[in-house]
Amino acid sequence: MKIYSWNMLFKNHELDRAFEFIAQNGFDMFCLQEVPEAFLERLKQSSYHLAYAVESNFTVRKKLETISLVIISKYPFIYSEAIPLTYYEPALPRRSRLAARIIYGLHDLQVWPKGLGNRHALYADIEIPEYGIMRIFNIHLPLMNPSIRAEEFERIMRQKDSQLPTIVCGDFNLLEKPYITPLNWLLGGRVSDALLYKRERTVIEKHFVEHELQNALRDNVTHPLSRSQLDHILVSNSFSIKNAEVLPDRIGSDHHPICVQLNIDK
């Protein structure tokens, strides 16, 4: 079974190549984050089985933008549900609100985009022939600070069913290098969140173990600017990992697509 996850970047200018990449990769399940509206409509018109939810809303130059989380499956969905999440920015310190606006503005080469919230994670149940039902999550943890990310991960994992094999895909925004972790303080965290740059990884890996999930791509860099593993595919212990890789071509995104091939142990 072949699983992909990719933060495709909401302002990706290589959408034709992105669509071709998805179509030609022989996936069983493919999780996408930051899917722009036009690309979602294109996926809806394809023959794929889709589950999707609004990831967040924001405005750029007074224009409303919506990005979505999408799970594409080779197999039909039995059930899917969006998980409502907190919009944190209004409750953050002034330094954090200012920093968030600047970061997202520079990211898009625009100034002062305004977040509107309406945040969600997504999960779906899929029945695999000759195996049974499994649950897959698609999540995008916020670029805020470690305590917020850990809290949100645990909130999403409340929808995990211990009776079902589980896959968790997404962009976790975990920062692991000393030159990038000052963002943890700037975005509402403690000074120690900036200085103890390996702590968040150590803590979150313990959360993974508690939920009986394997991090298939641990110690791999998936985001060149941060030199960190932002992107994850976590799998239940009932799966054995045949292969895991970070694909070299980012196809217009700032994130590398990642892929895990699994053997299913009945």
For 170-210, the pLDDT digits (tens) are: 999 999 999 999 888 888 888 998 999 999 999 999 999 99
pLDDT at 143: 85
pLDDT at 112: 46
Q: Is the dihedral of CA 155, 161, 162, 168 positive or negative?
A: negative
Tokens of 203: 């803590």
Picking from 71, 26, 69, the residue whose alpha carbon sits closest to that of residue 50 is: 71
Give 97 or 18, the one with higher predicted confidence.
18
Is residue 58 over pLDDT 80?
A: no
Q: Which domains does the chain carry?
A: 2-264 (3.60.10.10)
* Mean pLDDT, residues 66-85 taken together: 96
Residue type, 231: D
Is residue 97 over pLDDT 80?
A: no
Which strands sit side by side in the sheet containing 231-236, from one edge to the other? 77-84, 120-128, 132-140, 166-171, 231-236, 213-215
Rounded Cα distance between 102 and 106, Å, is 6
Return left, alpha or beta for 252; rule: phi > 0 is left, psi -120 to 50 is alpha, else beta.
Answer: left
Rounded Cα distance between 185 and 104, Å, is 17
pLDDT at 54: 95
Rounded Cα distance between 119 and 57, Å, is 7
Give 113-150 as a DSSP string: -EEEE--EEEEEEEEETTTEEEEEEEEE--SS-HHHHH
Q: pLDDT tens across 98-146, in order?
A: 766 666 555 554 444 556 578 999 999 999 887 899 999 999 999 889 9
Q: pLDDT tens across 209-253, in order?
A: 999 999 999 999 999 999 999 999 999 998 999 999 999 999 999
**What SS3 state is found at 252?**
coil
Confidence of residue 57 (pLDDT cuts 50, 70, 90): confident
Q: pLDDT tens across 19-34, in order?
A: 999 999 889 999 999 9
Rounded Cα distance between 86 and 84, Å, is 7
